Amino acid sequence: MKLNAIIINTFRESVRDKVFIAIIIFSIITMLGARVIKPLTLGEEAKVIKDIGLNSITFFSVLIAILVGGRLVYKEIEKRTIYLILSRPVSKTTFIIGKYLGLLLVLFDSILIMTGVFYLFLLFLRIPANYFLVWAIIMTFFELAIITAIAIFFSTFTTPITSAIFTFAIYFIGHLTPDLKNLARIAKSPVITFMSDVLYYLLPNLANFNVKAQVVHNLVIDYRVTILTILYGIVYSAFIMFLSCLIFRNKDF
C-alpha cells in the first residue's frame, strides 16, 4: 500500500515531466526516420528498419533510465520533498524500492508505447514481424532493471550529473565484459589480469542482454541462456538495490 503509493507517485512524476515526453517523441521520430534511408539499405530494408527500431527503443529507454534514475532520489532530497515522506511511517527501504519500481514501471510503459509504434510501423511497411523481436525487447527491459538500479545507487550519494556519467560508463564497459574476460586471459601482466578479472566480476555483464542482432537476422536464440541472463539481471539489480538501501539507511536529511 505505502510502496504502491510511492511507485504511483514516481510514475506520475515522470509522466508529467516534459523531458520524459520529449524522449519518447524522439524515439518515435528516430524509428520512423529509418524509412528515409531506404536507398542506402541495398535491399536489406526489413533488417535495417528492424535494427534501427530495436536500437532506438534500447537507446532511448537507457537514456530515460540514466537521466531520470540519476535525478530521482537526488531531487527528493534537494527539494526536501523527502521530509514529508520519511517523517511518515515509511522506512527508507520502502522509499528507495518504491522509487526504483516506479521508474521501472515508467520504463515498462515507455517500452510498451515504443514497441507498439514499432510494430505498427512494420505493419504499415508490410515488413513481416515475428515475436522474436519481443524477446530482444524483453531482454532490454531486464538490462534496464540493472541500469536503473545503478543510477539510483549513485544518486543516493552524488549529483545527477555525476551519477549519469558513472552509470553511462558502467553501461558502456558492461557491454565489453566478454573483452575484459579475454583481456584477463591473454594479458601478460598479472596486475592487468587481476584488474580485468575484478572488473569482469564486479561490473554487470550486459553483453548477454543484447540479442538484437540474432533476432534481426532470424538466428536461433538459446532460451536457456536467455532465462539465465534474465535471472542474472534480477539478482544483480537486487544486489545493487540492497547496497543503495544500506547507504540510504545511515543518511541524515
Q: Which residues form the interface with other proteins (CB under 8 A)?
A: 1-2, 4-6, 9, 12-13, 16-17, 79-81, 83-91, 250, 252-253
- In single-letter form, the type of residue at position 49 comes to I
DSSP string, 14-52: HHT-HHHHHHHHHHHHHHHHGGGGGGGGTT-HHHHHHHH
Least gap, CB of 90 to other proteins (angstroms): 5
Least gap, CB of 113 to other proteins (angstroms): 19
Least gap, CB of 63 to other proteins (angstroms): 21
What is the C-alpha separation between 152 and 100, in angstroms, rounded? 7
The smaller minimum CB distance to other proteins, of residues 12 and 217, is found at 12
The smaller minimum CB distance to other proteins, of residues 50 and 92, is found at 92
What is the C-alpha separation between 104 and 43, in angstroms, rounded? 38
DSSP string, 111-137: HHHHHHHHHHHHHHTT----THHHHHH
What is the C-alpha separation between 29 and 122, in angstroms, rounded? 14
Least gap, CB of 12 to other proteins (angstroms): 7
The smaller minimum CB distance to other proteins, of residues 18 and 224, is found at 18
The smaller minimum CB distance to other proteins, of residues 92 and 175, is found at 92
Report whether 212 contacts 61 (CB < 8 A).
no
The smaller minimum CB distance to other proteins, of residues 77 and 207, is found at 77
Least gap, CB of 8 to other proteins (angstroms): 8
